A and B are shown apart, each in its own frame.
Chain A
């Protein structure tokens, strides 16, 4: 027994999977301590804010300033303002005008110089739409403004005269220390379609999904194990009856059954635990089948016969002479059931038949939201890619543990 445990923890596959899984669990535990609060709180008003550090503009203005004269500040400013699509548009304009561009468009200096030398709002390149021409005008104005103004004037309405009064200025050389700004928000994975912090949501969803997987796995394993043990050990009519039920459940594809049950329960009744239960109730058949075949090969073994001859009860024989022999197998089946439970939840939720959307996020629901709000077509990768990665990582680690266990318990599989 001790030896087996040692073998398990020396199996590289098991350990890799185990470490990944433990890291995930630790993250689930510790992250909320650093970033507490409701994971479904809508902190952003817009949809899909990009990942990054957000600095409060208001607080920045009220933070004491330092003057820094940085030689490349202007260039950086321009370079940042000039988005990749603007650069491509400028290139298009040059092409339309028949001007050769013999440098890389990421070279801001060269690009702006060429633009200054050649752009004239009055020219109308052939075949260019009005809208496009207006776009170029706006772009040009923005660039001019960026170069011209040295400062931005801050003004406020005077309470008595109702006239605007200058209250301060922001110079190009004014800097504030980010550490001193009152409100800085790090959104490592941005926000989702409802303006919720994706990372916080992801951590909470991963926890819920793992719990759904565990409940589904436990339900499936308990039902499958009980049926398998009884069918295999009792044989005869009990076996026929149980196998009939099992076959009925096998013939109807589990996922179709899952969809039908989820649909008939209705959105309001579908809490995370109900969904987990439904998944468990539809996925026990293969556990039952494989446990049964293991038990059939065990029940004629001499140690079982000897136990019978010692007058032990059916229950005791199953618990002490059969169960320990298939325990390793049951653990492996459980791990696989957990993994497939998590995937089933994701599939169900993707179809809109998952847990109700108002209580807790799950990995499947996050995918569902991302899909509904076209995150995959508008380039908001942070709303779905981390979710896919997490699901993959969880099933990868569980399957790896399973393979590791398999190799320890069935030495013939060892490579």
Chain B
């Protein structure tokens, strides 16, 4: 079932029978198994599933970082073409990502400035005067509550996980892509920074009107932020629809289980079921 509220908006990213098989012969492992999806402009979609269900694999295919074994992905309604580097570069103007682990997302040998400068260059700002570039970087940093003057010439490992992930958002702020793929961007950082980062993401979405594909194993979080939810089990989408439909009215047994696993604060924990 689709989320009716978005069905009139233009398609941003969609897929038919998208499949990924790792290895071959009797070692073949189908990580993503014939999934269909339709993400609309401005929609915030969550893909929810347990560890190993194939979320990251799907997101890498969406990003064009992994080849698709079978099926097709459509970008803005047309079959996606990333057959050469020029086309890939074009595609990546439109889709960007924030990864799970901020500590491994940065090249530890490059200064922070490099990351941000790359974004400006990618948006065609290569020949802008230096002051203009600094101004843009400062603006991007202040959007995520960081001070560029304090960060310049620093290396990523001199930052905290939360600061790094905020810097990743600053990167998106500079790139202004159509689609943002956020693969569990908050799972490695503390609860306090988590809320800040989610807020910033939502704020950024409102500002530049992008589609966010939010990957998480936390169905409660998905309910809280998303318009639509896709539930993934063993590489297949078992259920999809608007967040309210799926979570308040789950049909698949897997969804029900995911929901029942969310600890409720107002109920005392039953420790016997944990672990």
Contact = CB atoms under 8 A, between A and B. Distances in A.
Given A311-B122, A313-B85, A303 B65 contact: no
Contacts of A311: 88-89, 92, 118, 122
Contact of A310 (B60, B85, B118): B118
B96 A309 contact: yes
Given A309-B97, A310-B118, A313-B85, A303 B106 contact: yes
Contacts of B92: 308-311
Nearest to B60: A305
A95 B63 CA distance: 98
Interface string B91-110: 01000110111001111111
B204 interface: no
Interface string B107-135: 11110000100110010000000000000
Nearest to B96: A309
Contact of B104 (A301, A307, A312, A313): A301
Nearest to B90: A311
A324 B100 CA distance: 23
A313 B89 CA distance: 10
A40 B60 CA distance: 66
A320 B99 contact: no
Contacts of B99: 302, 305-306
B104 A303 contact: yes
Contacts of B109: 320, 324-325
B105 A306 contact: yes
A197 interface: no
User: Would you call the interface of chain A mostly helix, strand, loop, or mixed?
Assistant: helix
A302 B183 CA distance: 11
A302 B122 CA distance: 19
A192 interface: no
Nearest to A314: B85
Contact of A305 (B85, B97, B119): B97
Interface string A281-321: 00000000000000000000111011111111100000011
A302 B101 CA distance: 8
Nearest to A322: B107
A134 to B, nearest CB: 82
Contact of A309 (B63, B101, B104): B63
Contact of B65 (A308, A310, A312, A321): A308
Interface string A26-69: 00000000000000000000000000000000000000000000
Contacts of B60: 305
B104 to A, nearest CB: 5
Given A305-B65, A320-B109, A324-B109, A310 B119 contact: yes
A125 to B, nearest CB: 86
A321 B107 CA distance: 6
Contacts of B108: 303
Contact of A302 (B104, B115, B118): B104
Nearest to B65: A305
A320 B89 contact: no
A281 B271 CA distance: 64
A338 B89 CA distance: 42
A240 to B, nearest CB: 14
B50 to A, nearest CB: 21
A394 B95 CA distance: 55
Contacts of A305: 60, 63, 65, 97, 99
Interface string B52-91: 0000000010010100000000000000000001001100
Shortest Cβ-Cβ A-B pairs, 4 listed = A302-B99, A324-B109, A311-B89, A302-B105
Given A303-B105, A305-B65, 5 more contacts: A303-B108, A309-B63, A310-B122, A324-B109, A325-B109
Interface of A: 301-303, 305-313, 320-321, 324-325
11 contacts: A302-B104, A305-B65, A306-B106, A309-B63, A309-B92, A310-B118, A310-B122, A311-B88, A311-B122, A312-B118, A313-B85
